[in-house]
Structure 1
């Protein structure tokens, strides 16, 4: 599944390069489950609405998203946060179905090394985006000032805040860059994925009756 900078890139493009802090934070919130320590695959699946190791259908995503939006339907920060949360899940689904599936098909190395190679390449993707995109530094600043929410029973406010802080610290430490020339997750593939997924999300939100840009865009 993609790491934070890819989710931030999608959030940025979905928002026409003006994502609210809440939308950005929501876009990584499902992975805040990692703050609980050594979690199982099943436990992580819960925050991503997975059932028996299967991603949710689009209909399930729609139902759950609209349900959470209705909890505080007059609170724009909450709406942005929830839309970011569901954008994350959708991006994970599409990543698994497309660019990650291609990686598994094309990989010809030792199967014992596949996870290591994957982590190395997606780590490099993070720093490539951080260095090359004009929006990267501004969104880090926005993210630092975002307020987290608990999404019951999935993640807590404290978990999301901690996860945000840890990820920002990691991104701002140049020593974490593997300085690796990517083979499987090159810039063109990642860029195409970000563009396609962003466009698909805009279509989905519109079909769900969510006019994100009128209701959320003013949160900056």
Structure 2
């Protein structure tokens, strides 16, 4: 799956494409589903539930649409959080269908599963660090995420879990995680830049269509 900087980049472009300002809760929502990783002993079943994935591991679009239909009429802070949450899940969906298989198809056939997995995380970690270092909106995004208020969200995540994840993301690039220091060969900056633009356009269209039905 894409890491926080890619999720934030897509979320910001979704709203920039329709010249629409957003609340801090929107950005927190866009990284929120992965807060499940701070829950002790959270297994695959729980991770899939929080990401609205079916038993076949695919995103259940009707459930996501219903979730947004419930939250969009609510107070702006919650409506924005829910939309950011949805953008995250839709971004994952596109990544799984495009970047993920392309990466694995290009790898040498003699690489072991462990080697492939390690390389995948090396490259995605480096891409996220590259975005962190060079993206012009990063400082403002960090300020917004810092002031976003963690809340209990539906029956998926608690405010405490979100607060832990919020702090982890904010501190991740400043010392919690060591930068790989590599030049990605398969998941390149150019590939991810293209992914962000295409994902944002697709997701913007999906959300616009769904809002028209509320």
- The verdict on a shared fold, with TM-score over 0.5 as the criterion, is yes
Match of 1:216 in 2: none
Match of 2:87 in 1: 87
Matched, 1:64 2:67: yes
Alignment equivalent of 1:25, drawn from 17, 28, 38: 28
Note the alpha carbon deviations across 1:49-108, whole angstroms, 9 max, x for none. 1121422243332122212334xx2x1111110000011010011100100111111122
CA distance in 1: counterparts of 2:120 and 2:22, whole angstroms:
28
Assess, with a 3 A threshold, how the Cα gap between structure 1 residues 174 and 30 changes in structure 2: closer, same or farther: closer
The Cα shift of 1:181 comes to 0.7
The Cα shift of 1:112 comes to 2.2
Matched, 1:76 2:76: yes
CA-based RMSD of the aligned residues comes to: 1.8
Match of 2:193 in 1: 191
CA distance in 1: counterparts of 2:147 and 2:163, whole angstroms:
10
Q: Is the 8 A contact 1:121 1:180 kept in 2?
A: yes
CA distance in 1: counterparts of 2:58 and 2:31, whole angstroms:
17
Q: Is the 8 A contact 2:53 2:60 kept in 1?
A: no
Q: How many residues align?
A: 208
CA distance in 2: counterparts of 1:12 and 1:28, whole angstroms:
12
Q: Is the 8 A contact 2:36 2:47 kept in 1?
A: yes
Q: Is the 8 A contact 1:4 1:28 kept in 2?
A: yes
Residues 13-22 or 151-160, more deviating: 13-22
**Corresponding residue SS for 2:153:** coil
The Cα shift of 1:19 comes to 4.2
CA distance in 2: counterparts of 1:5 and 1:195, whole angstroms:
14
Match of 2:139 in 1: 137
Match of 2:119 in 1: 117
Q: Is the 8 A contact 1:26 1:85 kept in 2?
A: yes
The Cα shift of 1:126 comes to 1.0
The Cα shift of 1:168 comes to 1.2
Note the alpha carbon deviations across 1:91-133, whole angstroms, 9 max, x for none. 0111001001111111223322111111111110111001111
Matched, 1:43 2:43: no
Note the alpha carbon deviations across 1:139-161, whole angstroms, 9 max, x for none. 01111111112112111111011
CA distance in 2: counterparts of 1:163 and 1:210, whole angstroms:
32
Match of 1:126 in 2: 128
Q: Is the 8 A contact 1:13 1:198 kept in 2?
A: yes
The Cα shift of 1:174 comes to 8.2
Give 5+ residue unaligned stretches, structure 2.
Answer: none
